[in-house]
Structure 1
Amino acid sequence: MSALVGLLGAPGATGALLTGGEAVGRVAPVVGGVLGLGGVAVAALPDRVRMRRELRRRWRTWALATPVFLGSLFFGEAGAAVLAAALGLIAVNEFARMTPGGATERTTGAAAGAERHVLAVAAVVLPLLAWLRPQWLDLRVVAVLLIAAALPALLSGDHRSGTARTSRALFGLLWIPVALTGLVLLGGTAVAVGVAVALGDVGAWCGGTALGRRGALARPLSPLSPNKTWAGVLGSAVATAGALLAVGAFSPLLWVAVLAGCVLGDLLESMVKREAGVKDAGSWLPGFGGLLDRIDSLLVALLLAMVVTL
């Protein structure tokens, strides 16, 4: 079995999983209940709560995004492929804006745009392959991704920062298009992972707010994001386990994969943003910033879920 199939799962592996429609039907009551309770909670927040306005904006974004996510996955692999491609195109555009074209100022904007095009093509092609030709996801695709990542620097003769540019492109390919291909290959499990990650982010905020004021749990996980504490990890652990149990998809390995995605995904994006010197990946998504600010945990969780599930 090839390296990429080992990462993405053997062709046909999704056949043993719930279909997208079945999974959406299973999680819909849970998601609807959580959104309803959340709406009541944020509506009842008193004016003195500092994040009252921000929490309401986030709830509205969730209320709009949830039907899009679940509605797309309801249509199975075809809907998942379209959703993955759409998310990928937006995400790679945000990533490209945060990523310099190379390690030196000598790299031109045109060169930086070449890597953006490589990422955009992969964001569309990989989900389509996972839907239409999953058996093609083998070492041939690994070779193509490697060459595609290096090609812009090779053709431009960039001997100053070509390695850095290629490394960034490879990172972007793995982080976004390859990860989002999991929406297709995981079948119904992708629905459970998406729901668990969303609730895990809420649990992290609740845990950090309630328990992260002082003591051992108030210690930050990493200097990359001082507001992310061990209290948040505890809250996320409880929320993700509860979400997977509620939708009937709990297993120890999947829970660990989702929890690791919730914790490490946010730190990973914080690293990218700090290097770029920006606060958010974008400004168009109310309450969150950009799409990458919303799906950073999901991307890592999907990658790890493929490793432990397929």
Structure 2
Amino acid sequence: MSAVVVVAGTLGVSGVAVASLPAKVRMRAELRRRWRTWALAAPVYLGALYLGAAGAFALAAALGLIAVAEYVRMTDLTRTDFAVLAAGSVALPVLAWQAPDLLDLRSAALLLLAAALPSLLSGDSERGFTRTARTLFALLWIPVALTGLVALGHRTAIAVGLAVALGDVGAWCGGTALGRRGPLARPLSALSPNKTWAGVLGAAAATALALWAVGSFTPALWAAVLLGCVCGDLIESMVKREAGVKDAGSWLPGFGGLLDRIDSLLVALLLAMAVTL
């Protein structure tokens, strides 16, 4: 229940803070939209995971299906490529739930074959390799990562999700407060010039605090979540820049698309599985 208390307290304090912002604050409307999205998403995330493995599977599959649909639109993949990704979004969480021992090198081989099969069968000599590479990347980035919601267990999955959410807030606060000038103002990558070392410092503090608050802090898990916060956003920025789009979608108020909200969570879940399982 500590996670519920932390989430409720965080939403309450942040809601008062956002509501109190003066009209002259440039991002006032944006921050209010983001808070409303968080207020709706948090109960869904927590509620699904508290239902146990079945709820975690349902959450992973739903997030996966929406995310791969956004990814396919961005990367100009075909319907058959989407079918592979959609199948993976359901099948992989099912395996994590019902037959976790099958998630090994055998499933890795099948993922490679599944990614290549549409291009092989259609004889796509012009874009076949590009399609296969993009599909395989998406399988690892989205459905495989989301199996962590099932495989990690509800306590760790909740801790990671909460820490990532607060890490994003910490990164914004750190970048705003410390990232205007000096060495901390240096951008991490040209892929996302607004992401600075000051933001990393803010994310480091926020993720550590979140994990400690729910009793899940370990140096390894903290490092996994922090790297997820930092690298997840850059990975999606790389995909979007090549695709020539600003956001993965436009339906999620304050964020754009679902991938814009869970990009850091995906990498954090992968790394959390690597250090805990």
TM-score normalized with structure 1 length: 0.88
> Is the counterpart of residue 194 in structure 1 residue 170 in structure 2?
no
| Aligned mates of 1:162, 1:44 — CA distance in 2 | 53
**CA deviation map 1:115-140 (0-9, x unaligned):** 11100000011101111111222222
> Is the counterpart of residue 210 in structure 1 residue 177 in structure 2?
yes
**CA deviation map 1:192-226 (0-9, x unaligned):** 00000000000000000011111111110000000
3-state SS in 2 of match to 1:249: coil
| Aligned mates of 1:158, 1:96 — CA distance in 2 | 17
1:76 positional shift: 1.1
1:249 positional shift: 0.3
- Letter paired with 2:97: W
3-state SS in 2 of match to 1:91: helix
**CA deviation map 1:148-203 (0-9, x unaligned):** 10000000111222111111111000000000000000002111000000000000
1:114 is aligned, of 66, 80, 83, to 80
Counterpart in the other structure of 1:90: 66
| Aligned mates of 1:93, 1:295 — CA distance in 2 | 14
- Letter paired with 1:289: G
Counterpart in the other structure of 1:22: none
Contact 2:2–2:213, Cα closer than 8 Å, also in 1: no
Counterpart in the other structure of 1:45: 21
> Is the counterpart of residue 222 in structure 1 residue 198 in structure 2?
no
> Is the counterpart of residue 185 in structure 1 residue 164 in structure 2?
no
Counterpart in the other structure of 1:247: 214
Counterpart in the other structure of 2:141: 175
| Aligned mates of 2:109, 2:233 — CA distance in 1 | 29
Counterpart in the other structure of 2:202: 235
| Aligned mates of 2:33, 2:45 — CA distance in 1 | 18
3-state SS in 2 of match to 1:69: helix
- Letter paired with 2:34: R
In angstroms, what is the RMSD of aligned CA positions?
0.7
2:252 is aligned, of 269, 281, 285, to 285
| Aligned mates of 2:253, 2:169 — CA distance in 1 | 16
**CA deviation map 1:217-251 (0-9, x unaligned):** 11100000000000000000000000001110000
Counterpart in the other structure of 2:113: 147
3-state SS in 1 of match to 2:26: coil
Contact 2:186–2:196, Cα closer than 8 Å, also in 1: yes
**CA deviation map 1:278-298 (0-9, x unaligned):** 000000000000000000000
The residue correspondences of 1:7-156 to structure 2 (distance < 5 A) are 25-101=1-77, 112-156=78-122
Counterpart in the other structure of 1:301: 268
> Is the counterpart of residue 276 in structure 1 residue 252 in structure 2?
no
Unaligned runs of 5+ in 2: none
| Aligned mates of 2:65, 2:44 — CA distance in 1 | 16
Query: Number of matched residues?
Result: 276
Contact 2:57–2:93, Cα closer than 8 Å, also in 1: yes
3-state SS in 2 of match to 1:259: helix
**CA deviation map 1:248-288 (0-9, x unaligned):** 00000100000000000000000000010000000000000
Contact 2:162–2:210, Cα closer than 8 Å, also in 1: yes
Contact 2:224–2:271, Cα closer than 8 Å, also in 1: yes
1:141 positional shift: 1.4
Identity %: 74
Higher relative contact order (CA 8 A, sep 6+): 1
Contact 2:37–2:252, Cα closer than 8 Å, also in 1: yes
- Letter paired with 1:249: S
- Letter paired with 1:287: G
1:26 positional shift: 2.4
